[in-house]
Amino acid sequence: MPFKPDAEPENASTQTDQPDSQNPDKLRIVIADDHALVRDGIRARLELEDNLEIVAEAENGLEAINFTRLYQPDIVILDISMPHCNGLEAAREIRAENKTCGILFLSMYDNPEYVQAAMQTGANGFLLKDVCTQGMVSAIASVAAGGFYFSKNVSLSALQEEEKSDPNPYNLTEREKDVLLGIAQGKANKEIASDLGIGVRTVESHRQRMREKIGGGNAAQLTHIAMEMGLISPQGDEAGIKPPALD
């Protein structure tokens, strides 16, 4: 069974109090992998280090997000392929809510597309699962200090390609991109809410968070950003494209 809090309060997403067992002298770590054997191995290796503490284990992306909210760890170690929200989706949500938490991906695959997608989430590093204990410890130390870390075998071409083009430079979540697309299509908040099956206030909240990430912007400016991100064609010839709505 994965290591989890004994009881998660109903309002865990807004809880700020840390567990009584928190040790301020240790780096707090959340491990997220859908294979218990992998989690056990990571825990066994990291618990040998005096300055590291595993505060929770998640077996899917949703648990990783919730445990990050609950424990406010220094580092989250994420597998990419997990049920109920994969590691990439979890990383985007974690980064949107927490700008300081270090995010390390741990994967079996040295695949350029995987590496690029991982780094586009705002992650701080990418490790392969054949990494040695010292390599993982070094990665954690580097990320905790505000740096980046990659396994030596991670494709350099993938990292170089990532430097050339970032399709999501503002680290928008998938839902924020949905709202941005609606804005670019000239839809008002009420229409966007209806299309996405969410409340108008939720749309307004996503819209405000986008403005904070982007640094402001009216509907026309947000539409331009949607074009830059490839959400709509710069020619504006999609069916249904209208002038930006005035909300």
What are the tens digits of pLDDT across the range 212-244? 888 777 776 777 788 777 787 544 333 334 444
> Which of the residues in the chain have pLDDT under 50?
1-2, 6-18, 20-21, 157, 234-247
Quote the CA–CA distance of 208 and 67 in Å, as a whole number: 25
User: Where along the chain do the CATH 3.40.50.2300 domains lie?
Assistant: 12-163
Give pLDDT, residue 17. 39
Extract the tokens encoding 244.
Answer: 């930006």
Contacts 24+ apart (CB under 8 A), 225-229: 225/170, 225/180, 226/180, 226/181, 226/183, 226/184, 227/184, 229/167, 229/168, 229/169, 229/172, 229/177, 229/180
Quote the CA–CA distance of 178 and 195 in Å, as a whole number: 10
Which CATH code is given to the segment(s) 12-163? 3.40.50.2300
Give pLDDT, residue 233. 58
Chain CA centroid to CA 236, Å: 30
How many Cβ atoms sit within 10 Å of the Cβ of residue 238?
A: 10
Coil/strand/helix, residue 77: strand
Say if CB 69 and CB 17 are below 8 A apart.
Answer: no
User: Where along the chain do the CATH 1.10.10.10 domains lie?
Assistant: 167-247
The fold for domain 167-247 equals: Arc Repressor Mutant, subunit A (1.10.10)
Q: pTM above the 0.85 mark? A: no
Give pLDDT, residue 53. 96
Where do we find the tokens 């648990």?
A: 63
CA distances from 21 to 15, 30, 56, 166, 168 (A): 16, 15, 12, 40, 38
